[in-house]
Amino acid sequence: MLTDAEIVSSRAYPSPNPAVELTEITYWSGGVRVKGLLAEPKAPGEYEGIVYMRGGIQHVGMVRPARIAQFASRGFVVFAPYYRGNRGGEGRDEFGGADLQDAVSAVDVLKQSPLWKEGRMHLFSFSRGGLMALWTAILRDDITSTVHWAGVSDVVFTYKEREDMRRMMKRVIGGSPNNAPDAYRERTALFRVDEIDASVLIIHGMKDENVSLEQSIMLEDALREAGKPVETWYFPDYTHHFPAWRNAEIVRDLTAWMKAQT
């Protein structure tokens, strides 16, 4: 039997950036084969790691090679799990259920890169990925920092504010918060943020209608109440998706923030 994070296979993947090499990795996670995309700078050296937690579910919000290469070009080795049930991976994407293991194991997949700088591991998450990153930071003690951009922090809150997602959530999670409360509570990380040892940066557009600003404020409040280091960058003029030029500026700034964390 294979162990979690054991790499089953890998194949070269076309890279949009001549300075970054991409590899699609198939790895073992919780008894199934899961896939993800690894981005490594071509220049020799040691690089801090980022596990990139994608948003969405299934084909919506899928990992984009250009985005992963963008982070790697800032001087990082980056690994982005697709989560189980996606792009030929086994199992079923459960929106923060058993698929959380795919995120937790992804850290150990990245550590197998010969370019990774030991002791420096960060998490970056967007939208639904916020849920995955929070749990990874809770369940592991080797995370330096974690960035939550427009991140989900409360699954019940998401169900209530996203009417268009309710049918999917009922199907994937096994009901609504009314008839399956335990399944929703088990996915909500807010109750255990006191177990996070990493520095936390929260980013959110205040006009976001996909994931409300309230989700970030709840996370910020919970972290502050637990005495955890947290920084917030709230942007009054932006929605869920920022203009490309502003997005690039923030990636530059947040990767600099990551490198400054101890």
Residues labelled catalytic: 127, 240
127 — pLDDT class (breaks 50, 70, 90)? very high
Query: Per-residue pLDDT for 144 more than 90?
Result: yes
- Examine residue 89 and state whether it is found in any structural domain, yes or no: yes
Q: Which helix (H) or strand (E) holds 125?
A: strand 116-126
Q: Is residue 72 part of a domain?
A: yes
Domain membership of residue 256 as a residue range: 7-260
Is residue 16 assigned to a domain?
yes
pLDDT of the residue at 96: 76
| pLDDT digits 0-9 by tens, 171-220 | 988 899 999 888 888 888 998 999 999 999 999 999 999 999 999 999 99
pTM, whole model, 2 decimals? 0.94
Question: Does the pLDDT at position 1 exceed 80?
Answer: no
Q: What is the pLDDT of residues 52-88, one digit of tens each?
A: 999 866 666 678 999 999 999 999 999 999 999 888 8
Tokens 């084969």 belong to residue:
33
Tell me the CA distances in angstroms from 14 to 18, 30, 39, 91, 221, one per residue in order: 10, 28, 11, 26, 42
> In the chain, what percentage of residues exceed pLDDT 70?
97
Q: Report DSSP letters for 81-96, one per residue.
A: E--TTSTT-SS---SS
Closest CA to 43 of 17, 62, 67: 17
Mean of all residue pLDDT scores within the chain: 94
Whole-number pLDDT of residue 58: 67
> 163 in a domain, yes or no?
yes
H/E segment holding residue 20: strand 20-29
User: Which amino acid is residue 134, in one-letter code?
Assistant: L
What does the pLDDT average to over 124-138?
A: 96
87, part of any domain: yes
- List the CATH number of the domain containing 156: 3.40.50.1820
Per-residue pLDDT, 105: 97
What's residue 31's pLDDT?
93
- pLDDT higher than 80, residue 164: yes
pLDDT higher than 90, residue 14: yes
Residue 1 belongs to some domain of the structure = no
Residues 128, 231: Cα–Cα separation, whole Å? 20
Q: How many domains does the chain have?
A: 1
Strand order in the sheet with 47-53: 7-13, 20-29, 32-41, 76-81, 47-53, 116-126, 145-149, 199-205, 230-235
Residue 239 has pLDDT above 70, yes or no: yes
| Structural domain includes residue 2 | no
Alpha helices per DSSP H over 91-195:
100-110, 129-139, 155-161, 166-169, 181-187
Task: Evaluate whether 54 touches 61 at the Cβ level (below 8 Å).
Answer: yes
* 169 contacts 178 by C-beta, under 8 angstroms: no
